């Protein structure tokens, strides 16, 4: 079974006052189809962990392995392909390209490595339908609400059928109702596609929707007792 | 969806920012295209001018001597085979024209006398006279008419330089009245300055003064029967027949066409009873109408007849007398012709005993019996000969003496009746070999006169010395020599640059006829050395029209600052445009887009933008070039002397400019986007692309660099203080530049690590402190802005130091310089006394005459490439005077030989070491570098061709920014050797006390009006020469100001970008109570600080650099102009900064806090 294994992950930043250790031996194992919420106070390193796992940042030490692949052993080309093929991102800011339509925004990751075939276009449309924006496929991001943009971002994150979905405060800018619907959609799609999901959030409510909850404390991940018991 | 969909969507969505980038690209391309088109315009205007001026003329055969009409006929016959046109003409340069009845006159007029054949060669569409001038008519061009102030219907007098055949520098050559006049000519038409209306031999963009007259009228004035001295050839470009070697042969030029006569001289023995009577002498006599035979002819004769030819040198001894005891019964015999000839087998002169006299040694002399009797001299007696120096370069005859020992006396038979040149010699007794008056060549006014009293010669004759016996001898024997000397001694004493032979005595067996002998000699003649030169006018002038200055490159260099500024602006604008898209780029990178794929995307997008911008730039470039051309023909006309330009554009330049603009801008865009794409996806997602990569370490490094620059500036300043002239200006500006570099490095260091604090300088105003600190938020942007503003303001101000004004060192302290149409031989002390009065003369008025070889003006005022620059022969009096003068000409590089350390002009006196050795030349460094492309400095050797002969020169010294620009200065000795045919002085420098300068000028011009003497103030001449450089500097400054203007736009862009990046920060500040106006004030202060620091640093460094030089050179500072310019730029910069302020006022700040 494909799984994400993070072992003894360390991350330090150079500052004027000296090196600052943000992650100090993080271990995490996530089997396929499972979701985990990572909680912690601001500055605890949640997003840093997510970015390292998503290969947007590099660790100071430790390993990240997704299935059989150690992405940090790949070159620039291999890592970009790995990210494209295996990882889907949902950011708080959504980062939609304003000049493109909803459909085109969803399809954008496909264009990174190949030309767009009808099959992929159909899949993108299906995702758009699943996020409930079938009638807005030709709309530009500027014509969408915050929640709708979030949905587009979710559809985009899944278009390449990734093994691992990473969401950084996906509902941070949304009102509770919209946030709940976006999270619901995310989990539904995760379940349908069988991907692993890591969500970084401050929200206990959001975290409660996921299979596991983990806290980042003093640079280490700590399993929430409740989920451990539940698990 | 494809990549192109992305590109097109992106282009549409970011249209506004793309348009702005496109405008930047258009500016860069426009400047590039414009510069290239200016190059096209200058080059093609020169070519057009050349083509229009030459019409169909390809070549010109120009001869010093008039050749016969039949030669033209032969040429025509020959050329019909080659489908070429032939037009004979009389061409005379350096004529003078004056208006009848007034004192107005102008010199340097080229006179063309020709028939309709000539006008058939004109370029299509160019004018020709409505009627060819008759014998008393003249057609002149517009420039000449304007210079003289005459129009059709007026009457003028044309003065033609027509030297005698005998060189003026020799005692038998005329020194006065070298001008023939064509008086009372009616101006029947004033021709436009187009086509043949601006024909000239030495190309220049200036319009020459041209006069057209009738050939017959001109010949009458010159007192010649017929013939031409020039043939224009058209359609001969491809024919080999029209070359220097072939053309004289095609014309069947003969010896007579270059003034050489061959005639048989035979004297029979009247006492012989034989029939036919035996000859006493019978030979072919070859002589020249210039008296002395050129060495080229000597060589040809020697090659043709070998030992059968005997060279003869005849010279006039002013007096012969015995040495020591003049009272021994003899007397001093005046005016005796002495022959230098090899005695012996070829010329078996016998003594009184009938014994053949042996060849003479150098000390030996053989006297005729008559002379020995008069001198009462015997074999073994010492004699002294007095004679004029064979060359009288200054016009003053110098009498010299030589002593000989009498080796023999030869009998001379009295003729039966007096001899006259047009009569046969008649004897009733057997004559001797010495009875040969033909050994003396015919000289008009001398050999054709019946008595000494009647001589009409250019040297003074002391008639008091002449006794009846002398007159009787002349009546009886005329030009029969009285004495014979060895040829080597004769050549030593009387040989000169004009020749060492006066005739050849060729054995009669050498040829059956004079024609046969002439033909044999012709085979060995080098016609170019006899003044028959074929000028490949078209090839030479078309080559010259390529110009010395590649204007395209020049304007590209001058515009480089604008181009760099525009490119920086493009980079800034593009960065601004890309800034908004950084998170999107981050997103794409995070979803797996490789850098290369993203680069491809942006490449496609930006290439389209650059392409469109470049297309626009080409159109704008055409307009820009037209504007520059307009400026060059109006405000900047000093750079090209006369407004002759017509706009031209070639497809090559348009394409080159387009591609260059496109490539440079695309490269700039790619570099910019590459810089962005190198950032990690995470940074891009966070929108950070301009961060200081390291802190205090780099700051300290740059601080050290700035200290090094300042030390360098100090060293340069010390060097500047100890040097002079332009080197001083250059060193000061170098020091200023290093100072500026140091300041910029210090600023960069401050942005990185703040090794020093500047806030206290600004008092306690928190907003100002804030503004100062904001500069280090984006150090690269701040640095770029300040660097651009600083460098451009530095250049605009510092270049002012190179603006040159005529200086005493440039004019050498001389008031006037002048030229005459014909050589002037004058005692200038006498002339000045007569003009100024004796007392004025004693105040130091002096005229220095120079020899002049006409040629191309090799100064920067002539855009044509010179191939035969004018040459000036500098005489010893000038060199001696320069050793003593308190004010002299400024030297750029002194002669390397230490011998000339104190007296550099003396380097011209040494002369070339030997035949074929390079000739020492002094020239202005501007002439050396810009016109002749000599960059090797003193010691560099180069070769130029004059009259078909290559002449090697060696640069002996370089003058700096003097009136000598455009000319090669050689020693007079070398000049005479190089150009033996150039006699007399035609170039003059006048030094007169200021109060009488005008009087001296007018007096001398009137005195030598016939010679076409004209003076110009040296300061005006120098100012015109310096105007070229000054205009380029102005151009550079003007274009630098445009760069500065672009810099202010760049500043606005930077500010706008800062504002956009800080939207949230500003919104937050508003949220905590800042009013919009206060926020706008902060942004405005930031802009003001950047603008003021940039302009201030550049200006202060420039002033520090140039003030010492300006003070040292006593020049005025154009402070008002600079301050006005800088204040204008500062004001514009502030206005541009308002754009950022307005952006702050208009931004929906608070909503940005709510929105993502």
pLDDT bracket for residue B1117 (50, 70, 90): low
* Residues whose CB falls within 8 Å of the CB of residue B55, separated by 6 or more in sequence, listed in order: B121, B122, B123, B126, B195, B196, B234
CB-CB contact of B811 with B1022 (8 Å): yes
Please name the residue of chain B whose CA is at the shortest distance from the CA of residue A120.
Answer: B1
CB-CB contact of B582 with B681 (8 Å): no
* Residues whose CB falls within 8 Å of the CB of residue A200, separated by 6 or more in sequence, listed in order: A37, A38, A46, A47, A49, A50, A166, A167, A168, A169
Predicted pLDDT at B802: 67
pLDDT bracket for residue B1151 (50, 70, 90): low
HSE of A94, CA atoms in CB hemisphere, 13 A:
27
Is there a contact between B586 and A98 if contact means CB atoms under 8 Å apart? no
* Residues whose CB falls within 8 Å of the CB of residue B203, separated by 6 or more in sequence, listed in order: B50, B53, B540, B541, B544, B545, B856, B862, B864
The per-residue pLDDT for range B457-505, each reduced to its tens digit, is 888 888 888 999 999 999 888 899 999 999 999 999 999 888 899 999 9
Bridge partner list, B284: B264, B506
Cβ contacts (< 8 Å) between A173 and chain B: which residues?
A: 1156
The per-residue pLDDT for range B793-819, each reduced to its tens digit, is 887 777 766 677 778 888 888 989 998
Q: Is the pLDDT of residue B700 over 80?
A: no
User: What are the backbone angles phi and psi of residue B308, rounded to the nearest 5°?
Assistant: -80, -5
What token pair was written down for B664? 């440079």
What token pair was written down for B888? 């002299």
Bridge partner list, B264: B284
Nearest neighbour of A109 by CB, restricted to B586, B591, B595: B591
Please name the residue of chain B whose CA is at the shortest distance from the CA of residue A156.
Answer: B591
As a whole number of angstroms, the distance between CA B680 and CA B659 comes to 33
State percent of chain B over pLDDT 70: 90
Q: How close, in Å, is residue A188 to chain B by CA atoms? A: 22
Q: Report DSSP state, residue B927.
A: I
As a whole number of angstroms, the distance between CA B498 and CA B976 comes to 9
What token pair was written down for B750? 């401050």
CB-CB contact of B566 with B27 (8 Å): yes
As a whole number of angstroms, the distance between CA B856 and CA B866 comes to 5
Rounded to a whole number of angstroms, the CA Rg of chain A reads 17
Q: Is the pLDDT of residue B1156 over 50?
A: no
Q: Is the pLDDT of residue B767 over 60?
A: yes
The per-residue pLDDT for range B1009-1019, each reduced to its tens digit, is 878 888 989 98
Query: How much is the mean pLDDT over chain B?
Result: 83
Q: Is B615 helix (H, G, I), strand (E, B) or coil?
A: helix
Bridge partner list, B942: B953
Beta pairing, strands B137-141 & B179-191: parallel
Q: Is the pLDDT of residue B843 over 80?
A: no
pLDDT bracket for residue A7 (50, 70, 90): very high
The least confident of A226-230, B90-94, B951-955 is A226-230
CB-CB contact of B705 with B720 (8 Å): no
Nearest neighbour of B597 by CB, restricted to A82, A112, A146: A112
As a whole number of angstroms, the distance between CA B938 and CA B959 comes to 11
Bridge partner list, A7: A63
C-alpha distances in Å from residue B146, one per residue of B107, B202, B209, B515, B1080:
13, 21, 10, 51, 64
Cβ contacts (< 8 Å) between A95 and chain B: which residues?
A: 583-584, 586-587, 685
Q: Mapped to the 3 state alphabet, what secondary structure does B1096-1118 carry?
A: HHHHHHHHHHHHHHHHHHCCCCC
Q: Report DSSP state, residue B500.
A: S
Rounded to a whole number of angstroms, the CA Rg of chain B reads 40
CB-CB contact of A103 with A125 (8 Å): yes
Q: Is B477 helix (H, G, I), strand (E, B) or coil?
A: helix
A83 in contact with B, Cβ within 8 Å? yes
Predicted pLDDT at B503: 94
The least confident of A113-127, B148-162, B549-563 is B549-563
What token pair was written down for A24? 């100090």
CB-CB contact of B439 with B419 (8 Å): no
Cβ contacts (< 8 Å) between B584 and chain A: which residues?
A: 95, 97-98
- The average pLDDT across B124-139 equals 92
CA A46 to chain centre: 12
As a whole number of angstroms, the distance between CA B233 and CA B213 comes to 20
pLDDT bracket for residue B727 (50, 70, 90): low
Cβ contacts (< 8 Å) between B3 and chain A: which residues?
A: 111
- The average pLDDT across B521-542 equals 86
Q: Between B862 and B279, whose confidence is greater?
A: B279
For residue B538, give the nearest of B235, B240, B124 by alpha carbon. B235
ipTM value, please give it: 0.85
DSSP E strand stretches across B778-824: 816-824
- The average pLDDT across B370-386 equals 92
The per-residue pLDDT for range B926-949, each reduced to its tens digit, is 888 878 888 888 889 999 988 778
pLDDT bracket for residue B694 (50, 70, 90): very low
CA B403 to chain centre: 48
Q: Between B1036 and B309, whose confidence is greater?
A: B309
Which stretches of chain B sit within 8 Å of chain A by CB? 1-3, 5-6, 9-10, 12-14, 583-584, 586-595, 597, 680-682, 685, 695, 1156
Identify the residue whose tokens are 């002038």.
Answer: B541
Cβ contacts (< 8 Å) between B582 and chain A: which residues?
A: none
The per-residue pLDDT for range B1059-1103, each reduced to its tens digit, is 776 776 777 777 777 777 787 887 788 888 888 888 888 888 888
Please name the residue of chain A whose CA is at the shortest distance from the CA of residue B587.
Answer: A95
Q: Report DSSP state, residue B1134.
A: H
Nearest neighbour of A76 by CB, restricted to B5, B584, B595: B595
A117 in contact with B, Cβ within 8 Å? no
- The average pLDDT across A166-176 equals 81
Name the pTM for this structure.
0.72
pLDDT bracket for residue B164 (50, 70, 90): low
B285: left (phi > 0), else alpha (psi -120 to 50), else beta? beta
* Residues whose CB falls within 8 Å of the CB of residue B621, separated by 6 or more in sequence, listed in order: B29, B30, B31, B32, B33, B34, B36, B37, B654, B657
Q: Is the pLDDT of residue B1149 over 70?
A: no
The per-residue pLDDT for range B400-435, each reduced to its tens digit, is 999 999 999 999 999 888 877 667 788 889 999 999
Q: Between A27 and B995, whose confidence is greater?
A: A27
Nearest neighbour of A97 by CB, restricted to B2, B584, B680: B584
Is there a contact between A107 and B1 if contact means CB atoms under 8 Å apart? yes
- The average pLDDT across B429-445 equals 90
Predicted pLDDT at B240: 64
What token pair was written down for A58? 């590099």
Predicted pLDDT at B693: 47
Is there a contact between A104 and B1 if contact means CB atoms under 8 Å apart? yes
As a whole number of angstroms, the distance between CA B385 and CA A113 comes to 109
- The average pLDDT across B756-783 equals 68
Q: Is the pLDDT of residue B1051 over 90?
A: no
As a whole number of angstroms, the distance between CA B67 and CA B64 comes to 9
Q: Is the pLDDT of residue B211 over 90?
A: yes
Predicted pLDDT at B1085: 83
The per-residue pLDDT for range B957-1012, each reduced to its tens digit, is 999 889 998 899 999 888 988 888 788 888 999 888 877 788 888 888 888 887 88
């Amino acid at each position: 079974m494909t799984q994400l294994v993070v072992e003894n992950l360390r991350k330090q930043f150079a500052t004027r006052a000296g090196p600052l250790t943000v992650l100090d031996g993080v271990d995490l194992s996530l089997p396929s189809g499972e979701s985990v919420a990572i909680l912690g106070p601001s500055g605890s390193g949640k997003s840093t962990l997510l970015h390292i796992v998503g290969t947007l940042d590099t660790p100071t030490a430790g390993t990240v392995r997704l299935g059989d692949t150690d992405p940090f052993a790949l070159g620039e080309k291999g890592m970009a392909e790995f990210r494209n093929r295996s990882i889907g991102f949902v950011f708080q800011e959504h980062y939609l390209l304003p000049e493109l339509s909803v459909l085109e925004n969803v399809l954008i990751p496909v264009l990174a490595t190949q030309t767009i075939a009808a099959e992929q276009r159909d899949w993108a449309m299906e995702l758009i339908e699943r996020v409930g924006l079938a009638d807005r496929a030709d709309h530009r991001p500027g014509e969408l609400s915050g929640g709708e943009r979030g949905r587009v971002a979710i559809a985009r994150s899944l278009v390449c059928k990734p093994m691992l979905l990473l969401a950084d405060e996906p509902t941070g800018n949304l009102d509770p109702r919209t946030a709940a619907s976006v999270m619901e959609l995310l989990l539904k799609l995760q379940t349908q596609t069988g991907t692993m999901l890591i969500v970084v959030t401050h929200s206990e409510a959001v975290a409660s929707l996921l299979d596991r909850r983990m806290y980042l404390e003093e640079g280490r991940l700590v399993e929430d007792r409740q989920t451990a018991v539940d698990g | 969806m494809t990549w192109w969909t992305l590109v097109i969507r992106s282009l549409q969505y970011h249209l506004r920012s793309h348009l702005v980038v496109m405008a930047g690209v258009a500016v860069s391309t426009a400047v590039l295209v414009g510069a290239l088109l200016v190059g096209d315009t200058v080059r093609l205007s020169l070519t057009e001018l050349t083509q229009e001026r030459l019409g169909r003329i390809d070549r010109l055969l120009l001869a010093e001597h008039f050749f016969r009409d039949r030669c033209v006929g032969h040429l025509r016959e020959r050329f019909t085979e080659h489908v070429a046109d032939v037009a004979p003409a009389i061409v005379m340069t350096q004529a003078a024209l004056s208006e009848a009845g007034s004192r107005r006159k102008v010199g340097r007029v080229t006179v063309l006398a020709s028939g309709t054949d000539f006008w058939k060669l004109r370029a299509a569409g160019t004018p020709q006279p409505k009627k060819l001038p008759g014998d008393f008519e003249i057609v002149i061009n517009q420039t000449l008419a304007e210079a003289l102030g005459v129009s059709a219907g007026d009457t003028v007098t044309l003065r033609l330089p027509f030297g005698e055949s005998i060189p003026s520098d020799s005692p038998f050559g005329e020194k006065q009245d070298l001008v023939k006049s064509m008086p009372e000519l009616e101006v029947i038409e004033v021709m436009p300055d187009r086509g043949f209306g601006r024909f000239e031999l030495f190309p220049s963009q200036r319009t020459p003064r041209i006069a057209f007259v009738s050939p017959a009228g001109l010949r009458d004035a010159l007192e010649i029967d017929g013939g031409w001295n020039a043939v224009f050839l058209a359609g001969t470009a491809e024919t080999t027949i029209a070359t220097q070697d072939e053309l004289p042969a095609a014309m069947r030029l003969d010896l007579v066409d270059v003034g050489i006569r061959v005639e048989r001289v035979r004297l029979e023995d009247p006492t012989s009873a034989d029939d036919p009577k035996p000859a006493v002498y019978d030979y072919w006599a070859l002589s020249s109408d210039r008296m002395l035979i050129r060495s080229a002819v000597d060589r040809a004769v020697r090659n043709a007849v070998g030992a059968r030819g005997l060279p003869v040198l005849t010279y006039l001894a002013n007096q012969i007398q015995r040495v020591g005891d003049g009272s021994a019964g003899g007397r001093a015999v005046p005016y005796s012709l002495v022959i230098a000839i090899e005695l012996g087998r070829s010329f078996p002169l016998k003594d009184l005993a009938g014994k053949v006299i042996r060849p003479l040694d150098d000390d030996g002399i053989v006297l005729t019996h008559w002379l020995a009797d008069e001198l009462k001299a015997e074999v073994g007696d010492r004699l002294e000969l007095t004679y004029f120096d064979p060359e009288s370069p200054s016009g003053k005859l110098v009498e010299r003496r030589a002593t000989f020992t009498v080796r023999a006396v030869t009998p001379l038979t009295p003729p039966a009746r007096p001899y006259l040149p047009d009569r046969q010699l008649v004897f009733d007794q057997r004559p001797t070999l010495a009875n040969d008056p033909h050994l003396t060549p015919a000289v008009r006014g001398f050999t054709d006169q019946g008595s000494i009293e009647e001589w009409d010669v250019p040297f003074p004759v002391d008639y008091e010395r002449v006794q009846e016996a002398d007159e009787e001898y002349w009546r009886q024997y005329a030009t029969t020599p009285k004495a014979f000397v060895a040829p080597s001694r004769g050549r030593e004493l009387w040989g000169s640059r004009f020749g060492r032979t006066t005739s050849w005595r060729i054995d009669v067996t050498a040829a059956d006829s004079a024609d046969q002998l002439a033909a044999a000699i012709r085979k060995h003649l080098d016609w170019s050395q006899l003044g028959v030169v074929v000028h490949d006018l078209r090839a030479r002038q078309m080559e010259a029209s390529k110009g010395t200055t590649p204007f395209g490159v020049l304007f590209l260099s001058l515009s480089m600052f604008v181009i760099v500024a525009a490119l920086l602006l493009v980079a800034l604008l593009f960065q601004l445009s890309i800034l908004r898209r950084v998170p999107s780029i981050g997103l794409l990178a995070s979803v797996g887009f490789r850098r290369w794929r993203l680069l491809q995307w942006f490449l496609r997008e930006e290439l389209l933008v650059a392409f469109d911008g470049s297309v626009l730039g080409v159109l704008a470039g055409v307009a820009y070039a037209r504007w520059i051309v307009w400026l060059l023909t109006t405000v900047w006309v000093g750079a090209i002397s006369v407004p002759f330009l017509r706009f031209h554009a070639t497809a090559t330049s348009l394409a080159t400019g387009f591609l260059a603009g496109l490539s440079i801008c695309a490269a700039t865009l790619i570099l910019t986007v590459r810089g962005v794409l190198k950032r990690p996806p995470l940074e891009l997602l966070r929108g950070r692309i301009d961060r200081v990569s390291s802190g205090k370490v780099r700051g300290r490094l740059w601080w050290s660099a700035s200290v090094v620059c300042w030390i360098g500036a100090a060293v340069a300043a010390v060097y500047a203080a100890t040097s002079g002239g332009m080197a001083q200006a250059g060193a000061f500006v170098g020091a200023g530049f290093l100072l500026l570099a140091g300041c910029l490095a210090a600023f960069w260091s401050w942005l990185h690590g703040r090794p020093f604090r500047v806030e206290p300088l600004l008092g306690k105003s928190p907003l100002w402190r804030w503004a100062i600190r904001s500069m280090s938020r984006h150090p690269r942007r701040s640095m770029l802005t300040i660097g651009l503003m600083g460098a451009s303001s530095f250049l605009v101000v510092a270049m002012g130091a190179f603006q040159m004004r005529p200086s005493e060192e440039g004019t050498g302290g001389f008031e006037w310089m002048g030229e005459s149409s014909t050589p002037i031989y004058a005692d200038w002390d006498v002339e000045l006394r007569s003009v100024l009065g004796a007392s004025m003369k004693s105040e130091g008025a002096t005229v220095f005459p120079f020899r002049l070889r006409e040629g191309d003006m090799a100064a920067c005022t002539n855009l044509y490439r010179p191939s035969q620059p004018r040459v000036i022969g500098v005489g010893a009096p000038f060199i001696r005077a320069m050793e003593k003068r308190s004010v002299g000409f400024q030297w750029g590089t002194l002669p390397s030989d230490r011998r000339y350390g104190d007296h550099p002009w003396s380097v011209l006196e040494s002369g070339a070491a030997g035949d074929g050795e390079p000739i020492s030349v002094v020239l202005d460094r501007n002439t050396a570098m810009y016109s002749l492309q000599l960059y090797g400095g003193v010691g560099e050797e180069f070769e130029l061709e004059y009259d078909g002969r290559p002449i090697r020169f060696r640069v002996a010294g370089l003058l700096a920014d003097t009136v000598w620009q455009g000319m090669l200065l050689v020693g007079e000795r070398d000049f005479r050797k190089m150009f033996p045919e150039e006699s007399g002085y035609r170039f003059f420098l006048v030094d007169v006390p200021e109060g009488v300068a005008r009087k001296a000028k007018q007096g001398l011009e009137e005195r030598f009006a016939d010679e076409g003497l004209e003076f110009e103030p040296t300061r005006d001449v120098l100012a015109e020469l310096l105007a070229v450089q000054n205009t380029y500097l102005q151009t550079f400054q003007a274009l630098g100001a445009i760069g500065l203007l672009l810099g202010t736009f760049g500043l606005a862009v930077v500010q706008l970008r800062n504002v956009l990046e800080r939207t949230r920060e500003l919104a937050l500040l508003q949220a905590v109570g800042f009013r919009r106006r206060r926020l706008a004030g902060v942004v405005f202060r930031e802009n003001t600080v950047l603008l003021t620091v940039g302009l201030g640093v550049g200006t202060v460094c420039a002033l520090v650099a140039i003030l010492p030089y300006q003070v040292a050179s006593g020049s005025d500072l154009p402070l008002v102009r600079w301050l006005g310019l800088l204040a204008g730029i500062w004001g514009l910069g502030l206005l541009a900064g308002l754009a950022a302020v307005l952006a702050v006022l208009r931004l929906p700040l608070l909503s940005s806090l709510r929105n993502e």
